[in-house]
Each structure stands twice: as C-alpha cells, then as structure tokens.
C-alpha cells in the first residue's frame, strides 16, 4: 500500500482526505462506492473548482471497467445532460476519471419529501428530460443498460444554469450497439443468450430473457421508473429474478399506470413493437409527454417536488455548523486573505514531499474548499516525477473497443 492509497480486489480505491492526485486534484471527501469503483469530491488546483473523481484499482479482475466508461464519456464531451470528462489518468495502483461534479442522485431526491407519491408534474418533466438524454446517448450508438434513479442526478445546486437539469451517469454497464466507420453506421450483430446486465426492478422482459439489449430496453427502464414515481411497482418486494419476470409478464399497463396518466400506455405499446434493430419513435414518446403536460397544465419551469426540502436541509446544515471562536476569528483577521487554490498551491510548494502526509480535516472541512488548505501536498505513487498516463491511450484491456471481427457487424440501411 502506498501512503494515502488502499485498493481491494473489487476495484474500490480508498484515498485519504488531502491526498493529491496527479499533482492537481485534492481529495476532499468520498461521495460513494459501488461495483465499478469509488467516487470522490476533489478540488482542482488549477481552476479552483470542485469536481468529481472516480477511481478504480488496476488489480480488478476481468479488465478495466473505468476505461470503457471513459471512452463513452469522451464521445459525450459537449453533450448536455452528461457529466463532462476533464481528464482520464492511470497510475501504478489505480486509474481515475475526473468529471463534472453533480448534485444529489434522483434516488435520494425522490425520497426526500417523505412521500412515496410524486406529483405528475415532476414525473412527466423528468420523463421529458430523460427521453432527451437517452436519445442523445443512442444517437452515438450506445445503450446504457442500467437506467434507474440511482444512476441519474440533478445538476449541482451551486450551478443555477444546470441545477434543474437531469443528468445520466455511471456507464460501467453501457455497450456500443453501433459503430461508425468511414461515415457509415453499422450495427453490432445481435447476440443470443446474453449475461444479465442491469437492475431487475427496472430492466425489460427482454433482459430477463437474456436478449441482447437495445434502445428500447433503456426506454422500458425509463417507463418503469416513471410508473414507480406514482405507485410502487407490483414486483417491488420480490427478490428472485424469475419471480420479478413472472410478475412483469402478468402486470398489464392498466395496473402499471394505475396512478399515472393513462396516456403513458401508448408509449409501452409502442415499445412492444420494437426489436434490436428498430429505432424507437422518440417523437411519438415526446408528443405523449407534451399532451399530458397540456392536459395537466404543467410548465417546465415549475419547482420539482424535492426543492423546498433541499432548501430546508441546506439551511439546517448551515445552522448546525459551529461558528468560529473569537480567538480563531482574531487569528483569521490577522492573516491576508487568499483564494482557496492559492493557499493550496502555496503549501504544496513549501511542503517537503518526503515528509508530507495527508491530513484528515473534519466532516465540515471536507465540504468547504477554503479548508482544504490544511491538506498537505504529496507525491502520487512513486513521486511527482512519475509520468502520468492517459487511460484512453492504454491497450491493456481484454477487449479493445472498436476492434471487432468483421462478422460482428450488420449493416443498417436506415442508420440510427
């Protein structure tokens, strides 16, 4: 184990608060952990901005999931509703991707107001946003394969221009179903008896039947998610995939959308007509959403159900924070005021790399970049002289994206 780093065989990477990655990104706090790595909030020394850093141990079995995710994020640079990748690097013990810092996950926000029933306004407007994001993803030849509230998030609350925007994230299970070669789109040939990929609560019947996932499967997950916002899914308490599958087969649209606008059944009826090579009619789905908004007199700029509760939560959090003592106030007033980045850079230049150790500030400190100045700058892996490798330029994965056998393609005359 290197100083400030711990890795395990599941791909999770433990970075201590104050650790500096790539001589630029200061670890502030851990945001979450899953099967595809660990996510941290970091402070960028060059831009003085907070970002998200996703790290994955290089020792993970089966090859790097993070590299595949980075390749998809590169295709989504400049696209709205997706985290923007800033850098993808590979160190001796772990690889990492730095991207936009987003707000709370939709899974958290939908439960925040204490009621399991969300308004039709919130339901349909999220549907409009998710539909647009999925079309954008599908238009670059990628299916997500795990659409659910936990893989969606709103923009960061400190960003007025994006705080009401729904973002799609976590592409660890995503797959390219089409590739563009010489300006021509070609399908990857449909597979049979595929491994299960996704979440049983939200996946389509096609996924249960081990079919190759396509654009319609992402949209089925969207519809199950929207239905759940108004009424608990009939299979919510079932644990076995086979039981969930049987329940989905026996659940009619009338039951699924019992507490939702009945027009949503027009969307699921359309999805049942689609196969692997068929393009969904995104316009039809959008028109259904617009008709419901017109009938319910819904406007896109209305508040979402959780917004009042988020404001109350943030206000309560600020109130709980301890006020500085008179002694500390006097000490602070005697020192010149610097920007957070300036303070961090100054300490980085003055601290001996050999003796420096990460510092663990309090929980409040990790939420405030001005307090990250307590973090000691230190070398990363072998030291500051170690070359930083762009993860997208490595060739150590068992399957190189874009390098498929000739018979893996099926020409689609109509394109996307």
Say if residue 414's pLDDT is above 80: no
Longest pairwise C-alpha distance within the chain: 74
- The reply to whether 208 and 267 lie within a common domain is yes
Virtual torsion, Cα 136, 140, 146, 151, nearest 10 deg: -50
In-domain check, residue 413? no
Buried b (16+ CB within 10 A) or exposed e, 205-238: ebbbeebbbbbbbbbbbbbbbbbbbbbebbbeeb
Say if residue 317's pLDDT is above 60: yes
Q: Compare 323 and 186 and report the one with higher pLDDT.
A: 186
Arithmetic mean of pLDDT, 1-23 = 74
Closest CA to 245 of 207, 191, 196, 193: 207
Confidence bin at 311 (pLDDT 50/70/90): confident
The confidence score (pLDDT) of residue 119 equals 95
Arithmetic mean of pLDDT, 321-325 = 60
Confidence bin at 308 (pLDDT 50/70/90): confident
In-domain check, residue 190? yes
The confidence score (pLDDT) of residue 324 equals 61
- The reply to whether 159 and 275 lie within a common domain is yes
CA–CA distance, 202 with 224 (Å, rounded to integer) = 6
- The reply to whether 269 and 164 lie within a common domain is yes
In-domain check, residue 181? yes
In-domain check, residue 108? no
- Last-in-domain residue among 289, 305, 321: 305
Sign of CA dihedral 144, 145, 151, 153: positive
- The reply to whether 273 and 133 lie within a common domain is yes
Say if residue 22's pLDDT is above 60: yes
- The reply to whether 245 and 375 lie within a common domain is no
- The reply to whether 136 and 257 lie within a common domain is yes
- The reply to whether 234 and 362 lie within a common domain is no
Domain count, the chain: 2
In-domain check, residue 134? yes
3-state DSSP assignment of residue 371: helix
Any idea which of 57-71, 83-97, 143-157 has the lowest mean pLDDT? 57-71
End-to-end C-alpha distance for the chain, whole angstroms:
47
- The reply to whether 129 and 276 lie within a common domain is yes
Catalytic positions, written as ranges: 146
* Residue pLDDT, tens place only, 138-173: 999 999 999 999 999 999 998 888 999 999 999 989
pTM of the entire structure?
A: 0.79
Question: On the CB side of 183, how many CA atoms lie within 13 Å of its CA?
Answer: 0
Dihedrals phi, psi of 276, to nearest 5 degrees = -60, -40
The confidence score (pLDDT) of residue 401 equals 26
Any idea which of 121-125, 230-234, 329-333 has the lowest mean pLDDT? 329-333
| Tokens 């939200």 found at | 202
The confidence score (pLDDT) of residue 408 equals 33
Domain that holds residue 185: 114-305
- The reply to whether 223 and 353 lie within a common domain is no
CA–CA distance, 117 with 298 (Å, rounded to integer) = 17
Task: Tell me the average pLDDT of the chain.
Answer: 80
* Residue pLDDT, tens place only, 242-293: 999 999 999 999 999 999 999 999 999 999 999 999 999 999 999 999 999 9
* Residue pLDDT, tens place only, 345-401: 554 444 333 323 333 333 333 444 444 444 544 444 433 333 455 555 544 332 322
| Tokens 């406007």 found at | 299
CATH number, domain of 360, equals 3.30.200.20
- The reply to whether 281 and 348 lie within a common domain is no
Closest CA to 56 of 19, 98, 11: 11
- The reply to whether 192 and 138 lie within a common domain is yes
- The reply to whether 291 and 159 lie within a common domain is yes
Which neighbouring-strand residues pair with 350?
A: none
Say if residue 326's pLDDT is above 90: no
In-domain check, residue 319? no
């Amino acid at each position: 184990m290197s100083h400030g780093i711990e890795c395990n065989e599941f791909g999770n990477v433990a970075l201590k608060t104050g650790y500096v990655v790539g001589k630029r990104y200061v670890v502030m706090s851990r945001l979450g952990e899953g099967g595809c790595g660990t996510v941290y909030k970091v402070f960028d020394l060059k831009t003085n901005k907070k970002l998200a850093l996703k790290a994955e141990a290089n020792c993970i079995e089966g090859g790097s999931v993070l590299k595949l995710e980075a390749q998809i994020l590169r295709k989504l640079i400049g696209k709205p509703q997706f985290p923007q990748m800033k850098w993808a690097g590979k160190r001796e013990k772990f690889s990492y991707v730095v991207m936009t810092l987003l707000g709370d996950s939709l899974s958290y926000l939908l439960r925040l107001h204490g009621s399991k029933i969300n308004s039709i306004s919130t339901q349909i407007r999220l549907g409009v946003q998710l539909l647009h994001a999925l079309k954008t993803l599908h238009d670059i030849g990628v299916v997500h394969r795990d659409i659910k509230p936990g893989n969606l998030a709103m923009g960061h609350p400190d960003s007025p221009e994006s705080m009401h925007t729904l973002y799609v994230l976590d592409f660890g299970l995503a797959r390219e179903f089409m590739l563009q070669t010489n300006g021509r789109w070609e399908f990857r040939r449909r597979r049979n008896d595929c491994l299960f990929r996704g979440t049983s609560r939200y996946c389509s019947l096609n996924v249960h039947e081990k079919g190759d996932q396509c654009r319609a499967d992402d949209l089925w997950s969207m519809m199950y998610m929207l239905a759940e916002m108004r009424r608990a899914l009939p299979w919510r308490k079932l644990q076995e995939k086979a039981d969930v599958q049987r329940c989905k087969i026996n659940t009619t649209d009338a039951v699924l959308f019992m507490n939702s606008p009945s027009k949503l059944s027009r969307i699921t009826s359309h999805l049942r007509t689609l196969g692997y090579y068929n393009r969904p009619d995104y316009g039809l789905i959008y028109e259904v959403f617009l008709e419901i908004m017109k009938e319910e007199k819904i406007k896109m700029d209305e508040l979402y159900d959780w917004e009042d509760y988020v404001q109350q939560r943030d206000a309560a959090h600020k109130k709980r924070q301890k006020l500085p003592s008179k002694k500390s106030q006097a000490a602070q007033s005697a020192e010149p005021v610097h920007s957070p980045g300036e303070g961090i850079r100054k300490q980085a230049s003055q601290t001996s790399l050999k003796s420096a150790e990460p510092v663990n500030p309090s929980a409040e400190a990790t939420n405030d970049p001005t307090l990250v100045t307590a973090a000691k700058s230190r070398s990363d892996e072998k030291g500051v002289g170690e070359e930083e490798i762009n993860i997208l330029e490595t060739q150590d994965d068992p399957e190189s994206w874009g390098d498929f056998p000739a018979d893996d393609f099926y020409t689609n005359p109509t394109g996307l």
